Structure 1
Amino acid sequence: MAWGPLESDVMDVLWRAKEPLPVRAVLDALNQARAEQLAYTTVMTVLTRLADKGALQRTRRGRGFVYAPVAEDEAGLAVREVLRRYGDAAVAHFVQASAADPESKERLRRLLERPAEGE
């Protein structure tokens, strides 16, 4: 996913947080390292746009919303986008390409044998 600098900064804040955050918490985290402070509405707009792009999940909490990444990092978001766009064809190409390279095939085997998170 191609993001602008502020979108990247917002995603970094949310990945570091490890929990859904409201706009105010994201704004405060971003403004800690900025000489020129961002406006609340600016951050709210960026969060809304990232949610519309599918990078964030937006959940109502009280009168507002909290935001959380839909994947644990940028690579996870890229995989989600490829799977959304190409479905089974993407998986088939990935497996075929991995099978053709012994090193990739071994890495894939190890990853498949590793227990999934939460097990």
Structure 2
Amino acid sequence: MGRSERGAVLGPLESEVMDVLWRADEAMPVRGVLAELNRGRPSPLAYTTVMTVLSRLTERGVVRRAPGRRGYVYEAAVGSPAEIAVRQLLDDYGDAALASFVDQVGSDEELRARLRRLVEDS
């Protein structure tokens, strides 16, 4: 997914951090995320910058934090930018967002068919 598609839910650095976590095989400490982000970067990021981004993503429920050997380790709590957007929409608008979605599906046969396929495949 391109950066412009993530822009609405993640800032540029948040997108980079999430890309690192989505590619990771296991939870990572801040230093591990920092090392990945700084690989090939002309001006390296500071440890505290990455730690702050991870803390904010944790507060938003996008990242999970757990105790590690030395400090915390972080892993993605969501699978995609789309999931972040849906969570944000539901947090911001609750039942009104669901009601609007139902209205949209109810008035669009193609959308209903797509939803049916998604439900059957899950």
TM-score category of the 2 structures, normalised to the smaller one: 0.7 to 0.9
Structure 2 residue 80 is the aligned partner of structure 1 residue 111 = no
Selected match of 1:87 from 84, 94, 103: 94
Moved over 4 A (4+): none
Instruction: Give the TM-score of the pair, scaled to structure 2.
Output: 0.82
Structure 2 residue 19 is the aligned partner of structure 1 residue 12 = yes
- Partner in structure 1 of residue 37 of structure 2: 30
| Number of residue pairs the alignment of both structures matches | 115
Taking a change above 3 Å as real, the CA distance of residues 50 and 104 of structure 1, as seen in their structure-2 partners, is: same
CA distance in 2, matches of 1:17, 1:28: 13
What is the aligned-residue RMSD (CA, Å)? 1.8
The answer (yes or no) to whether the contact 1:51–1:57 under 8 Å persists in 2 is: yes
Deviation at 1:10, TM superposition (A): 0.8
Deviation at 1:21, TM superposition (A): 1.4
CA distance in 2, matches of 1:18, 1:112: 28
Instruction: Give the TM-score of the pair, scaled to structure 1.
Output: 0.83
SS in 2 for 1:63: coil
Selected match of 2:84 from 77, 87, 112: 77
- Partner in structure 1 of residue 53 of structure 2: 46
Mean alpha-carbon deviation: is it higher for 16-25 or for 76-85?
Answer: 16-25
Structure 2 spans left out of the alignment, 5+ residues: 1-7
Once the two structures are superposed, what CA deviation does each residue of 1:89-110 show, in whole Å capped at 9, x if it has no partner? 3222212201211110100000
Deviation at 1:2, TM superposition (A): 4.3
Amino acid at match of 2:115: L
Deviation at 1:18, TM superposition (A): 4.7
